[in-house]
Amino acid sequence: MPHLVHPHSSINSACFVPHTSFLLTGGGNDFELKLHDLSPQSPTSTTFSKAHANSVNAVHTLPHTEVVVSASNDTIVLHDLREQTVIRSLIATSIADVDGLSTPREQVLDCKMLNRDMVASCGVNHHLNLYDLRQKSKRPVYNLSLGDDNLNSLDYNHAHTITVGSSNGSLYSLDVRKECVVTDTFPHASSIIHVACYGSATRLVSSVDGHISLYDAQSEALNVEISVPGDSTLRYKRNAQFVESHNVVLCGSEDGHIWIWDLVHGYAHRNRKRFVVDSPVAEGRLVTWTGFDSAANKLVGTTANGYLWVWDRAM
């Protein structure tokens, strides 16, 4: 089940290529972006043209597109998915380029393609940036300061709302059409390290203290709150996923497990499922990303020592 795909490096980011058998991964120490075909028994990997000089903090693509976006340090790179080559790069700054003036750059912690023409990014210095790919400029066309701390994660629900998670424990939702921001806070008020959007209102929020919250942004109801066993203070930024087709939440831990909670029958101890990520070294048991492909019934996990774990018929 384990496959070494980033030798001598952690895997810092990953995402499925929708409606295909492929997975994208971004390396920590090797600064590489890779494409993996999960259809054979042993995944085959292709490395993209070198584009980053630091850890790949984020990678994302959309269905039915041949563009991949990745982020490292203060640079966002667009790649050709089919050719694995660089198309162009963007610069993360706190304000849009005005009269060609030089502006401070910021480290990007997450980025997403909103559609074929727009990219959003967030990171250090609490700014949300929007880029218009139809323009030649490398700089953002829209910039918004949110809170007073790092913005660690963002997602887009395709209903014109961008949701951003902050180290100050706040969740910011920007209605792009109205340019209106709604701020939500959670009971634990812990640093938010990952946020994912489902439908028009459902948000899955992961905190640095190991808590995962399923939240309804319209009713402001906290529908589910889960505490990941053994993870009271996380060392790595990690994700969680709500699998709507199976009504489960899944997440990796830093002690060698991927947990799946059944939300239909309750998410108590007896109603959770565990997959073991076994390794003789601590970094091999530290799960950095997890994902479930419903169409292929395939569970995937990545680790801090560069391994890719794949389980078929996981649910």
**At residue 208, what are phi and psi to the nearest 5 degrees?**
-70, -20
pLDDT at 101: 54
pLDDT at 102: 55
| CA–CA distance, 121 with 234 (Å, rounded to integer) | 23
Q: By the 8 A CB rule, do 261 and 249 touch?
A: yes
| CA–CA distance, 120 with 53 (Å, rounded to integer) | 21
What does the pLDDT look like over 203-228, one tens digit per residue?
999 998 888 999 888 887 778 888 88
Query: Which ranges of the chain have pLDDT less than 70?
Result: 94-104, 186-189, 230-233, 265-272
Q: By the 8 A CB rule, do 128 and 122 touch?
A: yes
Q: How far is CA 112 from CA 118, 190, 302, in A?
A: 9, 24, 20
Specify the residue for token string 């459902």: 202
HSE-up of residue 183 (Cα within 13 Å, Cβ side)? 9
Quick one: tokens of 257? Answer: 């497990």
pLDDT at 107: 93
| CA–CA distance, 204 with 211 (Å, rounded to integer) | 11
What does the pLDDT look like over 121-179, one tens digit per residue?
999 989 999 999 999 999 999 999 999 999 999 999 977 899 999 999 999 999 988 88
- Closest by CA to 226, choosing from 170, 267, 171, 196, is 267
Domains of the chain: 2-312 (2.130.10.10)
Q: Which residues contact 12 (CB under 8 A, 6 or more apart)?
A: 26, 27, 28, 55, 56, 57, 237, 288
Q: How many CB atoms lie within 10 A of CB 100?
A: 6
pTM of the model: 0.92
